[in-house]
């Protein structure tokens, strides 16, 4: 018998008859989940036979071009864009516990097949694909004949050969399991591969315990003492005295003032400065006087000191170094600094932070990998 199904021909395990010309599925029983479906445009041969004991067997074979194959709603293989493609689809159904679905294409050149293997393998050359679904589970085998390379971060983490000429990928899944198991065969050596995504990475922005981030840099330092602010590896005095200006490293002084020409010796004073002292003290009873060179000057007001003969400059507070026009802020070294890291409960990979992988897996960027065969 020859039929021409429409563009969708999924296959379902729920009886020994064709459901329709457009909807055939393989499932775990009446109303069960779909185990495999294939969308294609094909001519198919359908045969029905009665076995010993009265059971019936349905066999569907087809030759088609460019299908879209979906397995267990987890893996979709889109081969519509491949050139020079021929394949055979076989569906044999005896009972709900005895059935077989096979899909074996012949691929002369399969550039689109590489998307199935990313990010594990990039390759040039030819490839072949085989799919089988039965009562136990599903299996997909992809073979590569040509030059290929393994992603660099995977070769570094697991010692997998980075280059080769032959490779195969085998994906297997029992119907009772939630995901596929992956086996990677490189030049005859098998590697059991487990991989799952762990989300988008977060920027590295956390300081080690007991440190704080330099607001102007990317390192972390112990907190500065009270009244000090971190500027790189140095803690600087945070504020300046009232009336002073402020910069990152000093406190510019308020205006100085002059104390006049002073009280020099005059004709008629005798041969000493006693008369000059008397004149100064008479005119400045509240501040008093002092001698600078051969001239008597009124003392500077409280909070000022004599700078040279004639200028009174503001005094710097205790501990601050006087540079003349400003007072240098107090400071002390705060160590060499510590690099930023990931927050507790995260791990770093490259320049980002991720949730740690589950036991037995190693993180490489946003994916968790396992390259050890499990018993």
The 250-252 sheet, strands edge to edge: 250-252, 326-328, 321-322
Residues 13 and 161 grouped into a single domain: yes
Tokens (6 digits) for 60: 């569907």
Residues 154 and 10 grouped into a single domain: yes
pLDDT for res 47: 64
Residues 75 and 161 grouped into a single domain: yes
Q: Which of the listed residues 315, 331, 363 is the one where a domain comes to its end?
A: 315
Note whether residue 238 is domain-resident. no
Note whether residue 153 is domain-resident. yes
Residues 114 and 260 grouped into a single domain: no
Domain around 260: 254-315
- pTM given for the model: 0.44
Q: Which of the listed residues 292, 315, 338 is the one where a domain comes to its end?
A: 315
Q: What is the mean pLDDT of residues 36-51?
A: 61
pLDDT greater than 70 at residue 68: no
Note whether residue 103 is domain-resident. yes
What is the overall mean pLDDT for the chain? 74
Count: domains in the chain: 2
Residues 60 and 149 grouped into a single domain: yes
Q: Which of the listed residues 315, 333, 360 is the one where a domain comes to its end?
A: 315
Note whether residue 232 is domain-resident. no
Residues 142 and 259 grouped into a single domain: no
Note whether residue 239 is domain-resident. no
- Rounded to 5°, angle at Cα 89 from 42 and 99: 130
- Rounded to 5°, angle at Cα 116 from 115 and 121: 80
Residues 31 and 163 grouped into a single domain: yes
CA distances 208 to 28, 59, 211, Å, are 53, 66, 6
Note whether residue 211 is domain-resident. no
**Ramachandran quadrant class, 243 (left: phi over 0; alpha: psi -120 to 50; beta: rest):** left
Residues 193 and 258 grouped into a single domain: no
pLDDT greater than 80 at residue 25: no
Note whether residue 35 is domain-resident. yes
Residues 268 and 184 grouped into a single domain: no
Residues 262 and 192 grouped into a single domain: no
pLDDT for res 70: 66
- Rounded to 5°, angle at Cα 212 from 208 and 213: 100
pLDDT greater than 70 at residue 107: no
Query: Closest Cα partner for 364 from 203, 205, 198, 202?
Result: 198
Nearby residues of 100 by Cβ (< 8 Å), 6 or more positions away: 90, 91, 92, 132, 133, 134
pLDDT greater than 80 at residue 293: yes
Nearby residues of 172 by Cβ (< 8 Å), 6 or more positions away: 137, 138, 139, 140, 180, 181, 183
Residues 44 and 153 grouped into a single domain: yes
Note whether residue 222 is domain-resident. no
Residues 298 and 172 grouped into a single domain: no
Per-residue pLDDT tens digits for 197-215: 888 899 999 999 999 998 8
Instruction: Give the per-residue SS3 of the chain.
Output: CEECCCCCCCCCCCCCCCCCCCCCCEECCCCCCEEEEEEEEEEEEEEEEECCCCCEEEEEEEEEEEEEEEECCCEEEECCCCCCEEEEEEEEEEECCEEEEEEEEEECCCHHHHHHHCCCEEEEEEEEEEEEEECCEEEEEEEEEEEEEECHHHHHHHCCCCEEEEEEEEEEEECCCCCCEEEEEECCEEEEEEEEECCCCEECCECCCCCEECCCCCEEECCCCCCEEEECCEEEECCCCCCCCCCCCEEECCCCEECCCCECCCCCCCCCCHHHHHHHHHHCCCCCEEEECCEEEECCCCCEEEECCCEEEECCCCCCEECCCEEECCEEECCCCEECECCCCCEEECCEEECCCCCCCEEECCEEEECCCCC
How far apart are alpha carbons 330 and 237 in whole angstroms? 5
| Residue 29 neighbours by CB distance under 10 Å | 12
| C-alpha dihedral (124, 126, 128, 129), degrees to nearest 10 | 40
Among 9-18, 36-45, 69-78, 323-332, the minimum mean pLDDT is found in 9-18
Under the banding of pLDDT at 50, 70 and 90, the label for residue 160 is low
């Amino acid at each position: 018998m020859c039929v021409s199904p429409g563009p969708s021909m999924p296959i379902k395990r729920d009886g020994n008859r064709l459901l329709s010309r457009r909807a055939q599925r393989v499932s775990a029983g009446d109303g069960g989940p779909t185990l495999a479906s294939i969308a294609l445009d094909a001519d198919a041969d359908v045969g029905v036979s009665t076995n010993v004991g009265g059971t019936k067997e349905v066999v569907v074979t087809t030759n088609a071009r460019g299908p879209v194959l979906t397995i267990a709603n987890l893996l979709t293989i889109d081969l519509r864009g491949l050139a020079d493609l021929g394949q055979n689809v076989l569906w044999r159904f005896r009972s709900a516990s005895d059935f077989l679905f096979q899909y074996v294409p012949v691929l002369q050149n399969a550039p689109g097949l590489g998307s199935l293997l990313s990010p594990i393998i990039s390759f040039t050359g030819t490839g072949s694909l085989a799919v089988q679904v039965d009562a136990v589970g599903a299996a997909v085998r992809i073979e590569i004949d040509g030059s290929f390379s393994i992603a660099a971060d995977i070769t570094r983490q697991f010692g997998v050969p980075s280059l080769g000429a032959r490779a195969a990928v085998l994906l297997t899944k029992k119907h009772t399991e939630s995901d596929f198991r992956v086996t990677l065969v490189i030049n005859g050596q098998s590697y059991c591969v487990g991989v799952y995504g762990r989300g988008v990475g977060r920027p590295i922005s956390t300081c080690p315990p007991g440190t704080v981030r330099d607001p102007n840099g990317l390192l972390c330092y112990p907190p500065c003492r009270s009244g000090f602010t971190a500027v790189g590896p140095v803690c600087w005095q945070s504020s300046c005295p009232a009336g002073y200006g402020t910069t990152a490293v000093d406190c510019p002084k308020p205006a100085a003032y002059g104390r006049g020409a002073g009280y020099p010796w005059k004709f008629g004073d005798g041969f000493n400065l006693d008369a000059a002292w008397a004149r100064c003290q008479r005119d400045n009873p509240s501040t008093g006087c002092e001698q600078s060179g051969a001239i008597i000057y009124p003392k500077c007001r409280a909070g000022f000191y004599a700078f040279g003969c004639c200028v009174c400059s503001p005094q710097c507070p205790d501990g601050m170094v006087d540079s003349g026009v400003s007072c240098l802020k107090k400071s002390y070294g705060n160590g060499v600094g510590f690099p930023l890291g990931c927050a507790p409960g995260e791990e770093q990979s490259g320049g980002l932070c991720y949730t740690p992988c589950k036991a037995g897996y190693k993180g490489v960027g946003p994916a968790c990998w396992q390259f050890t065969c499990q018993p």
